[in-house]
Amino acid sequence: MLLELLQLAGAALPVGAAAHSFGLETLAEEGVVGPEKLEDFLRDQLEESGRLEAVFVRRAWRGDDPALLSVEFGARRPARESRDAALKMGRRFAELFNAISAERVPLDLHYPVAFGVASAALRIPEESSVLSYLQQSVTGLVSACQRLMPIGQIAASRIIWNLRPAIVRVARHSEDLEVTCFTPLPDLGSMRHSMVETRLFIS
């Protein structure tokens, strides 16, 4: 189970995460988020959208209807760009998972739902599934920021390392399955992304 989890939650898994910044590109371009503020920003991001996604990983893992979960998740993401990104990543994740394993994940699921379904199918423990999902999410966002800001490898690794307590806290708080989320900055950044003159990312 450990090896399967390490592969599925690995930063190098080709699900298209490297093409999406989830609004960070706009916020970096506008000077809202910079290297000195990044760790605090990502900690807040974890507390809000990270917790939301962790809840949907848990609910999918516990056997809630994945199609209905995916519809609900999409309804809770007001920015079309981020919503579409999560759906595209979920589809690519499911296609990859179905190609390499004996289990099946439906193709039209948002990423956290697809991840929860796959983790349950492989009998990966629920808590490990949630923690690894949050960890790879943070790693992906930090990687995006390295292409947007002057952040070196050591600084990036330090940010991810320092966010470990926040990841554990968010995972623990997601156990009550409460799905409130308020992320105006990333949502507005996603909505304004098409207005950025030169773009490295899709979202």
In angstroms, the CA 203 to CA 191 distance is 9
The answer to whether residue 10 sits within a structural domain is no
With respect to residue 123, please indicate whether it lies within any of the assigned structural domains. Answer: yes
pLDDT for residue 24: 81
Q: Is residue 115 part of a domain?
A: yes
Rounded-to-integer distance, Cα 144 and Cα 19, Å: 8
| Whole-number pLDDT of residue 199 | 66
Return the CATH number at 170. 1.10.4190.10
pTM of the predicted protein model: 0.93
8 is a domain residue: no
Domains identified in the chain, total number: 1
Query: CA–CA separation, 156 vs 158, rounded Å?
Result: 5
As given in the structure block, the two tokens for residue 85 are 């990104």
Q: How far apart are CA 96 and CA 33, in angstroms?
A: 33
Q: In which band, very low, low, confident or very high, does the pLDDT at 12 lie, cut at 50, 70 and 90?
A: confident
Residues 38-73 have pLDDT tens digits of 999 999 999 999 999 999 999 999 999 999 999 999
CA distance 147 to 76: 28
Residue 169: pLDDT band with limits 50, 70, 90:
very high
pLDDT at 198 over 80: no
In which band, very low, low, confident or very high, does the pLDDT at 128 lie, cut at 50, 70 and 90?
Answer: very high
Output the CA torsion sign for 141, 143, 146, 152: positive
* Least confident span in 86-100, 172-186, 189-203: 189-203
Q: Is residue 16 part of a domain?
A: no
Residue 159 lies in a domain: yes
So what's the pLDDT on residue 43? 95
Percent of the chain with pLDDT over 70: 96
Minimal CA–CA distance to 70: which of 119, 104, 108, 105?
108
Q: How far apart are CA 131 and CA 167, in angstroms?
A: 7
Domain span at residue 101? 22-193
In a domain, 15, yes or no: no
Q: What is the pLDDT of residue 180?
A: 77
Is residue 34 domain-resident?
A: yes
